[in-house]
Amino acid sequence: MLIQLCGVTFGYDGVPILENADLVLHEKERVGFVGGNGEGKTTLLRLLLGKLEPDAGTVTRKSGIRVGYLEQTGGFTSDSTVYAAMKEVFREDEELIRKKEECERALSSASGEELKILSARIESLSGRIAARDSYHYEVRIKTVLGGMGFEGMYTQKVDTMSGGERTKLKLCRLLLEEPELLVLDEPTNHLDIKTLFFLEDYLLTYKGAILVVSHDRYFLDRVTARTLELERGRLSSFKGNYSKYKILKAERYKEEVRAYEKQQEEIAKLKDYVDRNLVRATTAKSALSRVNKLERMDVLARPLPPPAPPRFCFRTEERPYERVLEAHGFDLTADGKLLLRQADFTLMRGEKCALVGDNGTGKSTLLKFLLSNHPKVKRGRLVKTAYYDQENADLDPEDRTLDAFWERATALSQTEARKILAQAGIGAEDVDKKVKELSGGMRAKLALCVLETENGNVLLLDEPTNHLDLPAREALEEALKQFDGTLLFVSHDRRFIEEIATSLYCIENGTLTYFKGNYEAFLATRKKPPVQEAERPGKKQTEGYRSKEERAREAQARNRVREIETRLEALEAEEAALNEELVRVAADYREVAKITARLSALHEESDSLYAEYETLI
């Protein structure tokens, strides 16, 4: 047991957030934590970590537990470089290696009792180094930094980085520290798809326990094996990942309804019997026994149905011609940087196309370019575009929420406007707030409501799922699947892409490549050379993403990695054997000198191999 809650209740200003909650987190568990915006997930994390004290109940933590906590806001701070800041985690490893090297140097000139002491110390240090895998710490640093997108940024000062980058660095630091319990609050924010896959793969081999709050369903399904839900102050636990949780939650609700209805039937029968028989002398005793049964009965409360999810609906007024958007032979630049050269783009009527690529490759810039009046951008007849901006920059922060929507939908009555907002999850308590007072999720819902009123037949969406909780994401997903127009969207939510996209454009290495097919098929092409796509209107056939020569070089590199790993294992085995021999011949200085010289040679060869290994992985 790492942490246990018993009967914990907590609230703010008399408003309960958590009521009579019980929970046990076990070692090496993988737990996902879900709940709507504002339900209190972050509050529960703070209770678990001791940053808040419960109003009632107890929180018990394992003695000496090491916990790493990634908050949604507040990244890593340091005046060091990126690499130096990560290297600080391994000070003890560096010290162990330094002490061992000192002992090995002293061993060559030692004799007698000093020789025995040094030999024993070397053996002890070698054991600790092996247990901590100290010699490989630099490989671990480079693996994590490279996988999280910091390759080539090792010498940059941490305090010069953006907030999102420093949050990612905090995550890197936690992964390297390897606490017993890793608590992650929205760790997938600021991560592109490539980095998300790396993080998932890394967490699958993580030695400690993980508790993660996330709105990324794909991430939760891959990483977690148990799901906690906080809803209306009630904390529930379900065995399985997010997809399994959805099934089990529906089944649990049905079971609770059946149990309630069955009990209500029993109560009705008992009351009916009492009413008919209590006044009869012959049956009064029997009726009284039923009265006693009713009084002893633990009456179940009527199960509350799950909160109604938001609803969105996107309609079109006109059907455009077949080619809705085209641009050929264009260059794309941002802040003086060339992102694409001589690129071609074609979007056909009815396509639902995802635009994917690493952060900074120009996805949002390309959307804005396609919306511009650039002479190389051609729109089909009857095309009506509507754009969702991830920053919601077209919403005036000083406007009242209802006004911000209604001024864009003047044909609606106030009742109709309020109804559309309510369907999206913006209730009466929010419509009179200023836009700047809304949470990120509420602002996103407001912007989507505005998008609904534009009746565009070609929607361009830039990260529409940002800030939305899981029910809102799933509602938007369903609305866009039902949309009978054309869609081009950017998203880091892989389940969202998987459910909606019928084609993809990928920005990679400064090129724009079209893929006809769904996201699952696209991912398969990342793992093996893709079959050439059929020629599409206005575009030549694209070649596989790797040439024959590139694949051959990759195969050679993989073979060399295996050779190095095999040789390193042999060197480590030889080093262990020599350390044992060193203790046995401690009194023979000639043998000690020979063994020490060989150990030095082994270390030099290991260092050389590790240096080569780092360039290949």
Residue 122 lies in a domain: no
Give the domain range for residue 258. 247-296
Whether residue 447 is found in the same domain as residue 570? no
Q: Are 470 and 477 in contact, with CB atoms under 8 Å apart?
A: no
Whether residue 265 is found in the same domain as residue 413? no
Q: Specify the range with the lowest mean pLDDT, choosing from 195-209, 426-440, 533-547, 560-574.
A: 533-547
Whether residue 498 is found in the same domain as residue 424? yes
Q: What is the pLDDT of residues 470-496, one digit of tens each?
A: 999 999 999 999 999 999 999 999 999
What is the rounded CA–CA span in Å between residue 395 and residue 398?
A: 9
Beta-strand runs (E) in 92-219: 181-185, 209-213
Rounded to whole angstroms, what are the CA distances from 272 to 154, 261, 293, 300? 79, 16, 13, 19
Whether residue 454 is found in the same domain as residue 327? yes
Residue 21 lies in a domain: no
Confidence bin at 82 (pLDDT 50/70/90): very high
Q: What is the pLDDT of residues 553-606, one digit of tens each?
A: 777 877 887 788 788 778 878 887 887 787 677 666 677 778 878 877 887 887
Residue 446 lies in a domain: yes
Rounded to whole angstroms, what are the CA distances from 382 to 319, 323, 375, 457? 7, 11, 18, 9
Whether residue 467 is found in the same domain as residue 408? yes
- Tokens 């952060």 correspond to 359
Residue 507 lies in a domain: yes
pLDDT of residue 76: 86
pLDDT of residue 580: 77
What is the rounded CA–CA span in Å between residue 526 and residue 546?
A: 10
Using the predicted structure, report yes or no on whether residue 426 has a pLDDT greater than 50.
yes
User: How many domains does the chain fold into?
Assistant: 3
What is the rounded CA–CA span in Å between residue 558 and residue 149?
A: 22
What is the rounded CA–CA span in Å between residue 563 and residue 608?
A: 14
What is the rounded CA–CA span in Å between residue 141 and residue 134?
A: 12
Q: Are 389 and 344 in contact, with CB atoms under 8 Å apart?
A: no
To the nearest whole number, what is the mean pLDDT of the chain?
89
pLDDT of residue 366: 96
Helix-helix angle 91-107:589-616, to 10 degrees: 150
What is the rounded CA–CA span in Å between residue 523 and residue 157?
A: 35
DSSP character at residue 155: T
Whether residue 327 is found in the same domain as residue 292? no
- CATH number for the domain harbouring residue 376: 3.40.50.300
Using the predicted structure, report yes or no on whether residue 240 has a pLDDT greater than 70.
yes
Q: Are 330 and 323 in contact, with CB atoms under 8 Å apart?
A: no
Whether residue 270 is found in the same domain as residue 327? no
Give me the mean pLDDT over the 19-24 stretch: 94
pLDDT of residue 570: 85
Q: Are 455 and 319 in contact, with CB atoms under 8 Å apart?
A: no
Residue 208 lies in a domain: no
Helix H or strand E segment including 237 = strand 234-239
Whether residue 286 is found in the same domain as residue 432? no
- pTM higher than 0.85, yes or no? no
Spatial CA neighbour of 512 closest among 387, 326, 281, 260: 326
Token pair of 509 as six digits: 């290495």
Spatial CA neighbour of 228 closest among 34, 44, 49, 46: 34
Q: Do the bridges between strand 337-348 and strand 30-34 make them parallel or antiparallel, or are there none, so unpaired?
A: unpaired
Give me the mean pLDDT over the 425-436 stretch: 92
Q: Are 157 and 83 in contact, with CB atoms under 8 Å apart?
A: no
pLDDT of residue 587: 64
